[in-house]
Amino acid sequence: MSYEEQFKDAVVSFSPYVLSSTGIVQSQTALKVDTYTLACAPYQLSMTRAVLLGSFTKDEVAFFQRYKNALAGLTLTVQPPNAREPEKVFCRCQIAAVGMMKGRDCVGLVVCDFKPIPPALAELLGGHLLRLERLKAEWSDFRGKSVQINPDSSKKLGFNNYAVMSAGAEPQKLALFSVGVDRLEFLMPLRSPDVAVGTKATFNLFFQKYRFNVGGSIQSATRLPSGVQKVVAKLEFSAELVDILSAYFYASVASRRA
């Protein structure tokens, strides 16, 4: 079965992990429409279409809407991990829609249907989606397994010792002392407001390999005698976090066998 058939319904939304996995250089993407060359960045890709972001005024969006159904050429720049020079992937496509991104001033969206997707891009997306499936399997395998944060583990994980939680109020800086693919354990500042069990939160984690957000919810929160809060949070799947922790766990097993 070809990648186009296997992943015909999959949509790849760009994130730090996607950029690393595919090697696509967002800042070097260009869409040629008629005599115009538009600088844009991939927002979503699938086996049938590309959704691109661009810096456009409302007047520019209105102008380019006249090119709906017109043929266009999309050029993606890809940096393979072991190559010195980036490669170009050219995609013949048709403009399906042009509009403003909801809630974002001066950010436009251009939707392009591939005519058809070039084999090089299908191979790139297919390989990424296979790796993502592996990470999801590893997320299940590593659930319940945590790494205690200390100077040695932080160095091996590439953790920058910086994490922030946003849960509706002002973002709070966290002191992590344990991290797993499905949970975080941390201390909150002395004067931080109480957090209730079940509260939805977003955690911004800073690693050398990725800086990323992961969603989750508060599982438990208690005030210690010192006044700081000790919190356990349940995490949703994060490709970045699983990628980092799986490499750490495999390296730990290999070092014990050596």
DSSP string, 196-216: -TT-EEEEEEEESS-EEEEEE
Q: How far apart are CA 244 and CA 156, in angstroms?
A: 10
Residue 38 to residue 78: CA distance in whole angstroms: 18
The string of pLDDT tens digits covering residues 12-53 is 999 999 999 999 999 999 999 999 999 999 999 999 999 999
pLDDT at position 112, please?
A: 98
Last residue of a domain, one of 140, 158, 181: 140
Question: What pLDDT digit, counting tens, does each position of 81-115 carry?
Answer: 888 899 999 999 999 999 999 888 889 999 999 99
Cα-Cα end-to-end distance for the chain: 39
Residues 128, 255: Cα–Cα separation, whole Å: 28
Q: Read off the pLDDT of residues 141-194 as tens digits, 9 standing for 90 and up.
A: 999 999 999 999 999 999 999 999 998 778 999 999 999 999 999 999 888 888
Q: Go through the chain and tell me how many residues it has.
A: 258
Q: Could you say which DSSP state residue 26 is in?
A: G
Q: Are residues 195 and 250 in the same domain?
A: yes
Does residue 254 register a pLDDT over 90?
A: no
Query: Is 206 buried (19+), middle (13-18) or exposed (0-12) by CB count in 10 A?
Result: middle
Residues 134 and 232 in one domain: no
Return the higher-pLDDT residue of 138 and 80.
138
Q: How many percent of the chain have pLDDT more than 90?
A: 87
Residue keyed to tokens 């945590």: 146
How many structural domains is the chain composed of?
Answer: 2
| Distance of alpha carbon 242 from alpha carbon 16, whole angstroms | 13
Looking at the structure, tell me whether residues 127 and 167 fall in a common domain. Answer: no
Using only C-alpha atoms, the chain has a radius of gyration, in whole angstroms, of 22
Q: What percent of the chain has pLDDT over 70?
A: 99
Boundary (domain end) residue, out of 122, 140, 158? 140
Mean pLDDT (the chain) is: 94
Q: Are 117 and 12 in contact (CB under 8 A)?
A: no
Alpha-carbon distance of 116 to 20, in angstroms, equals: 25
Same domain, 158 and 204: yes
Taking residue 171's Cβ as centre, other Cβ atoms within 10 Å add up to 11
Whether 119 and 29 map to the same domain: the answer is: yes
Question: Tell me, what CATH number does 119's domain have?
Answer: 2.40.10.220
Instruction: Choose among 28, 15, 27, 78: nearest CA to 210.
Output: 15
For residue 258, is pLDDT > 70? Answer: no
Contact present, 244 and 209 (Cβ < 8 Å): yes
131 and 23 in a common domain: yes
Q: Kindly report the CA angle at 205 between 166 and 79, in degrees rounded to 5?
A: 130
Task: Say yes or no: 185 and 222 in one domain.
Answer: yes
- Look up the domain containing 206 and give its range: 143-257
Q: Is 158 exposed, middle or buried (0-12, 13-18, 19+ CB in 10 A)?
A: middle
pLDDT tens, residue by residue, 179-207: 999 999 999 988 888 899 999 999 999 99
- Which of 140, 175, 207 terminates a domain? The answer is 140
Q: Are residues 125 and 203 in the same domain?
A: no
Do residues 7 and 110 share a domain?
A: yes
